[in-house]
Amino acid sequence: MSAGQSKESRRESARARAAQDRARRLHAQRRRRYLWSGAVILAAAVVIALTATIVVHSLDAAAAGPLTGPPGPEGIVLEQGERLAADTTSPSGATRDGVQCSASEQVAYHIHAHLSVYVDGALRPIPGGIGVVAPVPQSTAQGTFYQASTCYYWLHVHAADGVIHVEAPTEAQYTLGQFFAVWQQPLTRTTVASATGRETVYVDGRRYTGDPAAIVLRSHENIQIDIGAAVPFRDIDWSHSEL
C-alpha cells in the first residue's frame, strides 16, 4: 500500500469513527427524550388517578344514604326536630316575587322538590302549610296535612316533610328564593330563615357554591342546606310516594 493510500485509509477510518460517535450521541439523546417523555406521561397519569380518587372519595363522603323515619301523609319521611321557623305566609295572598295565590291548585305545571336544612348538624324541619293561605289542618294516621280555605300559592308545602309543591298555570322556572319569598323568610349565602352562619349547599348530592336563592326547583330534586357544621348529604326516597 502506498503512503497516499495509507493516509486516505486513515482518514476514512476517522470519518467512520466520527459517524459512529455521532450516531451513538443521537441514540443517547433520543433515549433520554423517550425516558423523559415516559416519566412525564407516567407522572400525569398518577396525578389524574389521584385526582379521580380524591373526587370519588369526596362524593362518597358527602353521601349517607336516604333520610329515614316515619313516612308522612305524602309518603315522604317526616322531618323531625325543632322547626326552622314558623309559617309566616302572608294571609292576604298577595303576589310574592312573581308567585301568585290561586283559589285552587294548578295542574298545568305540577312538580315536587325537597328541602332539608341542618343547623349545626341537627335537622330543622320547615313547617307544613307554607304557601297555603288560611290553612286547615287535616289529621291523618301519618301526620297533619294542610289544605287551603282561601288560596294556594304556586309554591307551597302541605306537610312537615320538606316537599315543595310547584303547581302553576304555565310551565316556568321557579326558584328556591321565590319559595322563601312566599314564606316571607330570608335566604342568602349566610342566612336561611332563622339560622345564620357558614353554608354548605348540596343539590342532588353535588356541592352547590352559587346563591341558594337562584336554585331552580326541578322534579324530585333534593336540596340540602347546612348551616354551621357540614353534615353528609341525605337523599330522599321518592319511591314510596305518588308525588
Compute the distance between CA of residue 116 and CA of residue 147 in angstroms, rounded to an integer. 22
Res 64: pLDDT: 74
Res 42: pLDDT: 38
Res 57: pLDDT: 34
Intervals of the chain under pLDDT 50: 34-61
Compute the distance between CA of residue 77 and CA of residue 69 in angstroms, rounded to an integer. 6
| Spans of all domains in the chain | 1-61, 69-235
Res 66: pLDDT: 84
Res 63: pLDDT: 66
Compute the distance between CA of residue 86 and CA of residue 71 in angstroms, rounded to an integer. 22
Res 30: pLDDT: 52
Res 69: pLDDT: 87
Residue 208 CB neighbours (<10 A): 17
Compute the distance between CA of residue 86 and CA of residue 126 in angstroms, rounded to an integer. 8
Residues 6+ apart with CB under 8 A from 225: 115, 116, 117, 118, 192, 199, 200, 201, 202, 212
Res 67: pLDDT: 86
Residue 78 CB neighbours (<10 A): 20
CB 229 within 8 A of CB 121: yes
CB 221 within 8 A of CB 211: no
